[in-house]
Structure 1
């Protein structure tokens, strides 16, 4: 494709029908502004506009072509949303025509390289060269790089949206619900399932249940309960590393915001990805509104169940609602006729999860198994006797035997040995 004129590029940028948000960001707006100043021919304004575009693009760490493609693949528009629910052939012809038009226009913008813009700026400002002709070598890994005519890539683009989602679900695999909205987590915990040992049955069961969810089969809400530091939370977070590229998304919801669960489910219901709502360290007080909200999600209501959403919760308590001795019914002074029924409802709440995985405290053999596994991954080379002696001392002096204690010990030992070895 030959280099288009500045005026033609302005027309293409202004005429987008569905993909306007691709340029509605710092880099895109700086690009459009640079085209305008180039057309005006004012050398000072042109240099200033080039500097703004240069800086905003440099902050992304991408070249112009990679950045533009990323924005197209992330874009949330009527086509990218509807194609996740309806086959490409069933979409309205007018919508398909609009997408093809926009892709052709964006294809022209893609072909306007950093070198071409630098050349225009130098010509406008009558400069032999700019101080720096900045260019970052791109990966060229996206399928859009492989086509000269982007209007031909609709099937591949539709498949990408179905697999990876759009908007925030395309940009982030881990999210949190905060103050009534979903927010992406830029740096989620990188824990991998291979790092978690000692609870193989629990791990295998959780993986299998998650695979049911991803395959579209009935899957169960899960309660992971047991001793502190046993890896319950890490096991849930580690699912992203295994299944994130298959459309799994993890949404962290604090106990204080569980009353929003119904609203969260409605946002996720018609999304093509699969979601785990992760509630860490779950327990309830008497008459807690969050208890009622979670109960509705686990048991269902008149509203149809969202088949792409599960709740995975961790707790140190088997009975999630705190119970005191004075709560137990005493017929002589209780005002409630069926008080035992009320107490049993509280105690049986955890049963509503469908699947309960128990994490017992680690014995010495399990603890040392975790130590050896983590030491191997950390490339720590100590004699077995020395490693085990240090690990036992650490557990005695710190938090007892657990997966968390083992991780803390290995991290400390690795740093210590690195310093000793210079």
Structure 2
């Protein structure tokens, strides 16, 4: 009998060691940004982002996102947002910058929660917690895919946005970025997408659930230089337009990202931080 008890105690100890640690409650007032990993939220002590005034070439998108966040932080009706289009044109940067700007104007009114990959199916658990909190929360899903590998994430998000059993409180909204170039583009005559049927249907089923959809497109040469000067002018750096364009061409595109990278190159040559 004693031997059996010892064995059972050892099994219980082993199971206890294997069991995951209890999730600690999150203090949502301890930071302005968090990362949700599917089980717990990690506070981001330094919210790293570009100043919103430095984001150029996306004025309409910037106004739309800032206006929507202003509604959210004040407790008014606000949209879920889908930012789609070309890589490097400021989708993620705009979300972070707009949230930081809103937080600066109204401290404590809005919190950013970035959702880690492969954790979208746990959002109902997160939202249940956020519904009990004061203040507004923007859940950010960065670079969402629409291929077969992301089917489960898409279904989870579609259900949460519209049609699921879990209702979202008015203080929680979702922003998603996607590098898909034509997620909501329709042909004027056939009302059809410029993609294969299955992929089109999956994209539309999700895209239609967002109240605000914003496209980001490749920039032309003048816009590329405007974005570049937004970084270099405050540092007093001179820009050779020919060299800047050659830099962009060597990387295959003109975008906000390549403009920033060239600004880093110029600042580094001058021994300056950026």
- Deviations 1:304-345, CA, capped at 9 Å, x for gaps: 32111111110011449xx985x75xxxxxxxxxxxxx9635
**Offset, 1:406:** 0.4
Which segment is superposed worse, 229-238 or 191-200? 191-200
**Offset, 1:269:** 0.5
In structure 2, how many angstroms separate the alpha carbons of the residues matched to 1:389 and 1:343? 40
Q: Aligned-pair RMSD on alpha carbons? A: 2.4
SS at match of 2:132: coil
- Decide whether the 8 Å contact of 1:222 with 1:356 is kept in 2: yes
> Is 1:307 aligned to 2:167, yes or no?
no
> Is 1:268 aligned to 2:121, yes or no?
no
SS at match of 2:260: helix
**Offset, 1:289:** 2.3
Matches within 5 A, 1:125-274: 168-244=27-103, 245-274=107-136
> Which residue of structure 2 aligns with residue 297 of structure 1?
160
**Offset, 1:170:** 2.0
In structure 2, how many angstroms separate the alpha carbons of the residues matched to 1:397 and 1:344? 36
> Which residue of structure 2 aligns with residue 369 of structure 1?
226
In structure 2, how many angstroms separate the alpha carbons of the residues matched to 1:183 and 1:189? 15
> Which residue of structure 2 aligns with residue 348 of structure 1?
205
> Which residue of structure 2 aligns with residue 407 of structure 1?
260
RCO higher in 1 or 2 (8 Å CA, sep ≥ 6)? 2
In structure 2, how many angstroms separate the alpha carbons of the residues matched to 1:343 and 1:401? 27
In structure 2, do the counterparts of structure 1 residues 265 and 201 end up closer, same or farther at CA, with 3 Å as the change threshold? same
In structure 1, how many angstroms separate the alpha carbons of the residues matched to 2:46 and 2:164? 35
**Offset, 1:179:** 4.2
- Deviations 1:139-176, CA, capped at 9 Å, x for gaps: xxxxxxxxxxxxxxxxxxxxxxxxxxx96322211100
In structure 2, how many angstroms separate the alpha carbons of the residues matched to 1:346 and 1:314? 13
> Which residue of structure 2 aligns with residue 53 of structure 1?
none
**Offset, 1:212:** 0.8
**TM-score normalised to structure 2 length:** 0.78
Between structures 1 and 2, the one with greater strand share: 2
- Decide whether the 8 Å contact of 1:175 with 1:184 is kept in 2: yes
In structure 2, how many angstroms separate the alpha carbons of the residues matched to 1:209 and 1:228? 23
> Which residue of structure 1 aligns with residue 141 of structure 2?
279
**TM-score normalised to structure 1 length:** 0.52
- Decide whether the 8 Å contact of 2:158 with 2:205 is kept in 1: no
In structure 2, how many angstroms separate the alpha carbons of the residues matched to 1:346 and 1:216? 30
In structure 2, do the counterparts of structure 1 residues 345 and 316 end up closer, same or farther at CA, with 3 Å as the change threshold? closer
In structure 2, do the counterparts of structure 1 residues 300 and 270 end up closer, same or farther at CA, with 3 Å as the change threshold? farther
Q: Aligned to 2:242, which of 371, 389, 398?
A: 389
In structure 2, do the counterparts of structure 1 residues 179 and 263 end up closer, same or farther at CA, with 3 Å as the change threshold? closer
In structure 2, do the counterparts of structure 1 residues 202 and 192 end up closer, same or farther at CA, with 3 Å as the change threshold? same
Between structures 1 and 2, the one with greater helix share: 1
> Which residue of structure 1 aligns with residue 7 of structure 2?
none
In structure 2, how many angstroms separate the alpha carbons of the residues matched to 1:230 and 1:267? 33
- Decide whether the 8 Å contact of 1:262 with 1:293 is kept in 2: no
Which segment is superposed worse, 255-264 or 302-311? 302-311
In structure 1, how many angstroms separate the alpha carbons of the residues matched to 2:66 and 2:219? 21
> Is 1:398 aligned to 2:257, yes or no?
no
> Which residue of structure 1 aligns with residue 21 of structure 2?
none
In structure 2, how many angstroms separate the alpha carbons of the residues matched to 1:310 and 1:282? 16
> Which residue of structure 2 aligns with residue 139 of structure 1?
none
In structure 2, do the counterparts of structure 1 residues 293 and 169 end up closer, same or farther at CA, with 3 Å as the change threshold? same
Rg bigger for which structure? 1
In structure 1, how many angstroms separate the alpha carbons of the residues matched to 2:203 and 2:243? 44
Aligned length, in residue pairs: 234
In structure 2, how many angstroms separate the alpha carbons of the residues matched to 1:215 and 1:295? 26
- Decide whether the 8 Å contact of 1:284 with 1:291 is kept in 2: yes
**Offset, 1:238:** 0.7
The runs of 5 or more residues in structure 1 that have no matched partner are: 1-165, 329-341
- Decide whether the 8 Å contact of 2:73 with 2:110 is kept in 1: yes
